[in-house]
Structure 1
Amino acid sequence: MFRHYFYRSIVALMTTTAMILRSVSSFGASAPRYNYFAIGSNMLPETMEALRQIDLSYSNSTAAVLTDYRLAFDISMGQSAAASVRYEPGSVVHGVLHSLTSDQFASLSLSEGVPLAYLWERCSVVPYEGDNDRAGELALARNDVELIPAFVLTSRWGRESVYKESRIHKDRPTGRAYLNILQRGAAYWKLDRSYQISLTKVRTTASFDGSELLLKQAQFFNKFKGT
C-alpha cells in the first residue's frame, strides 16, 4: 500500500510540475522566465541560494504586494507551521517577486514538495514603488497599477476556490526560528514598515523547528562544493 501511494505521489508531482512549466507566464520573450512570489522563508536570499540551490544573481527580484490574500501559517512542520497564503478579500501580503529560469522553477517546485506539501496558486502582484517605508502601499494607491502574473505557494485551504472552507480552518503557531528568517527577509527587501511590524505579532511556539540549523548546515556544505 505504501509503495503504491509513493509511486502515485511521484507521478502527481512530475505531472503537476510539467503542467506549471508549460503554463506559467514570463517576463521576457527570448527565454522562458517564471514568476514566483515568495512570502515565507524564501524571501531571504540565503534560503533561496543555500536550500533551493537558486543563484539569485541570475534572477530579477523585487519587493511586491499580493492583494486579496493574507499570510497564513498552515503547512505542518511537526510542532509548528510554515507560511503560505490564504485567499481573503481585502487583505494584502507583502513579499518578493522572483523571475526564475525553467530549471530554477522546477528545482523550487521539487524542493518545496509540490503538490504534496504545497500547491501552486495563480495570482497577480504589484511591484513596489521605490524603497521607502510605504513603498508597497504607494504602489497599490496608483491609478495605473502594474499587475504582474505570478505563482505563489499555498496549502489546499489557501486557494480562492475553497474560500468558504478555509474560513473555518485555523492557523497554527509558527516556530520562532522560522519567523526570524521571514523577518530577516522582509528587512532585506525593505518591505513596508507596517508589514514588518505585523510579522512581530505572529503567534509562535517555543518548539524547536530546526529552520536556522537547516539553513546553516546547507550554507556550510555549499562552501565545499567544487573544492
Structure 2
Amino acid sequence: MALTVDDLAAYVTESGTDPVQEFGTPEEFAPQVAPSGEQDDAAPPSSAETWTWRADAFHERDVLNRYGDEGWEVERVDGAGRFVSHRDPENPQRWEYHRETVLPGRGQAVIDRLAPDGWESCGTWVCFEYFKRPKAATIGPEAALRNVPRTPAVSAFWSGHFRDLIAAMTIVTVVLCLAGLTLVSDLSYSDFGGSLTGMVVGALSALAISIVVRAWLARRRKSS
C-alpha cells in the first residue's frame, strides 16, 4: 500500500495535474486502491470456539448438560463417538441435552415426537440419539451466558462405573485365560488327579467371575 501511495504522489508531482481532477475525490478513489475485499481481510471475522470430547454412556448426559450450561453446543457425534461442539464467542447461550435409546428404523419417529418441545437431533452413536435445545426455550433471557468459562483442558470423561466395568472385564478375561490353559493342560493327563484339578480351577473361575460382577452391580446400584 505504501509503495502505491508513493507512486501516485510521484506521478502527480511530475505531471503537475490536480489530484482531484486526475483521480477524483479521496472517497471515490480509495475503493480503487484498497477494494472492500482487501479491507475485510485486514480484520477477519471471529470464529466460534471448537472443542471435541468424549464420555462413557454411564454419565455422558451429566457431562453434556454441565458443559451445555457453559455455552457448548454439540454440532454432531463423529465416527469415533466424540462430541464435536462449539461456543459462540460473541453471543454464548446455555444449552440442554437429552438422550434416547432408538431401535433401528425408529429414529425419525423419535425425532418427530420430541420436535414440538424444541428438541433438535445433534448426533447418533450406535443405539443412542442425542438431542439439544437452547435453554432460552425454557428460561428465557437468563439463558444468556455472561461469564464465559475457559475451554476445558481435558477431552475425555470416564465415570467410576465405567472404570469398574473395565476392571471387571479385565479380571474376567485373565481368569478365563488361565482356566483355558489349565483345561488344555488337563487334556494331556489321563489320571483322575489331572481331571480333578481342571474341575477345581473351573469352579474357582466361575466363582471369581460371579464375585466381580456382583460387586460391580452392587456399587452401581448404591451410586445410582
- The reply to whether TM is greater than 0.5 is no
**Rg comparison, structure with higher value:** 2
Greater strand share, structure number: 1
Greater helix share, structure number: 2
